[in-house]
């Protein structure tokens, strides 16, 4: 039986596949017309069982997919939105909503719900010093000290923020959104060209969108950038590592900081300029050197830490082990077909 959510779920599946109505009609070899698909998505008509199976095959989803409740994302914040094609944005939003729906259903079945509580809910950011203080307060409340954060993605999920990774257009780096009170998601681009340090920066930038309330006169994106830099490289650690004022910074120092703290060379330089540890002139010289050597996208040095969460995988394994969900249900919740999921299970042994 097709659920009341069918029209929205169908449109979401099409957008996740990056298909227009015409594209989907072509993939279906014109066995279902574009007008019919449009009516399905508008709720004006329901497909026959045969056409439902055709849609499932064309979109790579199961019939169960259409019965899952709809998760609606709000307060969506994209980085560099103007560079992102509309079709790609719709694809990312649809994938995020589907991922969040599956994750919440899995937690509900296992009684393992984790709801996020904002430790900075009373903070209004009016300037960059407020942002600096917010990072100090957050590190204290989350018990992080001033040491490098080894796995930011894992930390966010421990605190109740879901993190979805997608392979996307190079114009996309990250997104934050809310589903309802206490439910937040951060989406990160996991394509091979995204370095680990860039992913860490983006995760914290999006966290700032979730945590902070911004005064109307502050540039929100610059404030979120500042938050990410300050979280990655705390002010007190800078004094220990580099001193309070420097005429020049050696490239070797910047690489060492990157390898230890997981912050890019460019972000470190900007952080030092923010704190007046290096002059604007020296910062410009360093930026010119970076551009001249072609390091703007691919820098020297590498951060070898990992930025992944295994929470969802652990939960599906737990559900199977405790006979709370079947293997086929686990595969559906994990976003795989049954054959792929069984291969993943076999690889564990």
On whether both 288 and 317 belong to a single domain, the answer is no
Place of tokens 């060379």: 265
On whether both 329 and 244 belong to a single domain, the answer is no
**The 3-state secondary structure of the chain, one letter per residue:** CCCCCHHHHHHHHHHHCCCCHHHHHHHCCCCCCHHHHHHHHHCCCCCCHHHHHHHHHHHCCCHHHHHCCCCCCEEEEECCHHHCCHHHHHHHHHHHHHHHHHHHHHHHHHCCCCCCCCCCCCCEECCHHHHHHHHHHHHHHCCCCCCCCCCHHHHHHHCCEEEEEECCCCCCCEEEEEEECCEEEEEEECCCCCCHHHHHHHHHHHHHHHHCEECCCCCHHHHHHHHHHHHHCCHHHHHHHHCCCCCCCCHHHHHHHHHHHCCCHHHHHHHHHHCCCCCHHHHHHHHHHHHHCCCCCCCCCCCCCCCCCCHHHHHHHHHHHCCCCCHHHHHHHHCCCHHHHHHHHHHCC
On whether both 136 and 281 belong to a single domain, the answer is yes
Task: From 70, 89, 110, give the residue that closes a domain.
Answer: 70
Task: From 70, 86, 113, give the residue that closes a domain.
Answer: 70
Q: What is the pLDDT of residue 328?
A: 92
On whether both 49 and 136 belong to a single domain, the answer is no
Q: What is the pLDDT of residue 4?
A: 77
Greatest CA span in the chain, whole angstroms?
73
Q: What is the pLDDT of residue 128?
A: 96
Q: How far is CA 58 from CA 14, 54, 291, 323, in A?
A: 9, 6, 45, 32
**pLDDT tens-place string over residues 21-56:** 999 999 999 999 999 999 999 999 999 999 999 999
On whether both 29 and 59 belong to a single domain, the answer is yes
Q: Which residues are CB-contacts of 39 (< 8 A; sequence separation ≥ 6)?
A: 45
Q: What is the mean pLDDT of each run of 10 residues along the chain (349 residues)?
A: 80 94 96 96 94 94 87 86 83 94 95 92 91 97 95 96 92 91 91 93 97 94 97 96 93 96 97 96 95 92 90 95 94 90 83
Q: What is the pLDDT of residue 289?
A: 93
Integer Cα distance of 284 and 292 in angstroms:
12
On whether both 229 and 321 belong to a single domain, the answer is no
For residue 25, the Cα-to-chain-centroid distance in whole angstroms is: 31
pTM over 0.75: yes
On whether both 288 and 145 belong to a single domain, the answer is yes
Radius of gyration of the chain (CA): 23
Q: Which residues are CB-contacts of 298 (< 8 A; sequence separation ≥ 6)?
A: 195
How many domains does the chain fold into?
A: 3
Q: Compute φ and ψ for 235, nearest 5 degrees.
A: -55, -45
In a domain, 192, yes or no: yes
Q: What is the pLDDT of residue 239?
A: 93
**Between β-strands 174-180 and 74-78, what pairing exists: parallel, antiparallel or unpaired?**
antiparallel
In a domain, 331, yes or no: yes
In a domain, 215, yes or no: yes
In a domain, 299, yes or no: no
On whether both 169 and 287 belong to a single domain, the answer is yes
In a domain, 17, yes or no: yes
Token pair, residue 136, equals 């100090």
On whether both 134 and 279 belong to a single domain, the answer is yes
Identify the domain containing residue 316 by its residue range. 311-347
On whether both 23 and 145 belong to a single domain, the answer is no
Task: From 52, 70, 88, give the residue that closes a domain.
Answer: 70
On whether both 165 and 268 belong to a single domain, the answer is yes
Q: How far is CA 114 from CA 98, 110, 143, 184, 325, in A?
A: 18, 11, 18, 11, 19
On whether both 217 and 138 belong to a single domain, the answer is yes
């Amino acid at each position: 039986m097709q659920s009341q959510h069918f029209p929205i779920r169908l449109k979401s599946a099409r957008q996740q596949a990056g298909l227009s109505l015409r594209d989907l009609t072509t993939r279906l070899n014109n066995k279902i017309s574009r007008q019919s698909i449009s009516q399905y998505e508008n709720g004006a008509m329901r497909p026959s069982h045969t056409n439902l199976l055709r849609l499932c095959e064309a979109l790579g989803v199961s019939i169960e997919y259409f019965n899952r409740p709809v998760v609606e994302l709000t307060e969506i914040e994209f980085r560099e939105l103007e560079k992102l094609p509309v079709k790609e944005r719709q694809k990312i939003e649809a994938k995020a909503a589907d991922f969040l729906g599956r994750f919440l259903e899995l937690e509900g079945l296992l009684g393992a719900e984790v709801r996020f509580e904002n430790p900075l809910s009373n903070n209004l950011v009016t300037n960059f010093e407020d942002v600096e203080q917010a990072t100090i307060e957050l590190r204290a409340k989350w018990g992080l000290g001033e040491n490098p954060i080894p796995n930011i993605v894992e930390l966010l999920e421990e605190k109740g923020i879901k993190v979805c990774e997608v392979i996307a257009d190079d114009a996309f780096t990250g997104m934050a959104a809310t589903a309802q009170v206490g439910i937040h998601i951060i989406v990160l681009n996991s394509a091979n060209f995204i370095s680990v340090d860039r992913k860490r920066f983006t995760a914290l930038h999006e966290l700032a969108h979730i945590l902070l309330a911004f005064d109307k006169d502050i540039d929100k994106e610059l404030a979120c950038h500042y938050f990410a830099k300050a979280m990655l490289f705390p002010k007190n650690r800078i004094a220990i590592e580099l001193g309070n004022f420097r005429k020049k910074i050696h490239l070797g120092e910047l690489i060492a900081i990157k390898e230890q703290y997981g912050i890019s060379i460019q972000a470190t330089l900007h952080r030092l300029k923010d704190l007046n540890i290096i002059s604007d002139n020296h910062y410009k010289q360093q930026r010119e050197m970076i551009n001249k050597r072609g390091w703007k996208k691919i820098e020297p040095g590498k951060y070898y830490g990992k930025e992944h969460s295994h929470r969802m995988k652990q939960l599906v394994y737990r559900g199977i082990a405790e006979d709370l969900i079947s293997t086929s249900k686990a595969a559906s919740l994990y976003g795989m077909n049954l054959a792929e999921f069984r291969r993943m299970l076999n690889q564990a042994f």
